[in-house]
Amino acid sequence: MCKNKVTSETHTGKVTSEETKRKIGAKASQRTGSLTGKKGSDHPRFQGGVARDLKNPSHADYAWKSAVRKRCNYTCVITKEKQKSGQRYACHHLNSFDVYVDQRYLSENGVFLKREIHKQFHDNYGFGNNTEQQFAEFCNRFYNFDWFVRKNELNLV
């Protein structure tokens, strides 16, 4: 029998204590190549400090998100559904944060999207080096509408 299948069957429903999880994590962090504790310039994917700290957003991040939500009337620009309590939405940079430094905090460079649509975009186009043209292609390819026409309809120009 396949080892993965046997393991899956024997571990289904298994309850692991917090202590065991902690021990497994501690052992894994000691393995060669572990990235535990590697931050900033010590991390192998460090690219010169252009990323935001998403766990501790700056005032500028909060202000930008607030301006984008207000500009889009708290409505997903793709589904045209207004945000309801408990629903998860995201503010998306049309021209990416990492490349278009001068547009990082311009509300005109952001749109309000349902979280799953935002994830779908980045699953298809990756994170970083994104453009409004890619977003237009995404809208056409997955939702069958012209982004630039919608942008005019929603007075987002």
- Residue 68: predicted pLDDT: 96
Residue 65: other Cβ atoms inside 10 A:
18
Q: CA dist 44 to 26, 59, 97, Å? A: 21, 28, 20
Contact 156, 132 (CB under 8 A): no
Contact 120, 141 (CB under 8 A): no
Q: Taking all residues of the chain, what is their mean pLDDT, rounded to a whole number?
A: 87
- Residue 26: predicted pLDDT: 86
- Assigned token pair, 145: 């509408």
C-alpha Rg value of the chain to the nearest Å: 21
- Residue 59: predicted pLDDT: 87
What value does the mean pLDDT take over residues 73-89? 92
State residue 92 phi and psi, 5-degree precision: -115, 130
- Residue 41: predicted pLDDT: 73
pLDDT tens profile 15-35: 888 998 889 888 888 887 777
Higher model confidence: residue 90 or residue 156?
90
What's the chain's length in residues? 157
Higher model confidence: residue 40 or residue 107?
107
In the structure, what pLDDT confidence band is assigned to residue 49 with cuts at 50, 70 and 90? low
- Residue 50: predicted pLDDT: 57
Q: What is the DSSP string of 74-113?
A: TB-TTT-PBP-TT--EEEEESS-TTT-GGGTT-GGGEEEE
- Residue 86: predicted pLDDT: 85
- Residue 46: predicted pLDDT: 65
Residue 27 burial (C-beta neighbours within 10 Å; 0-12, 13-18, 19+): exposed
Overall pTM surpassing 0.85 (yes/no): no
Residue 71 has pLDDT above 90, yes or no: yes
Coil, helix or strand for 156? coil
Query: What proportion of the chain, given as a percentage, has pLDDT over 90?
Result: 52
What value does the mean pLDDT take over residues 78-92? 92
Residue 106 has pLDDT above 80, yes or no: yes
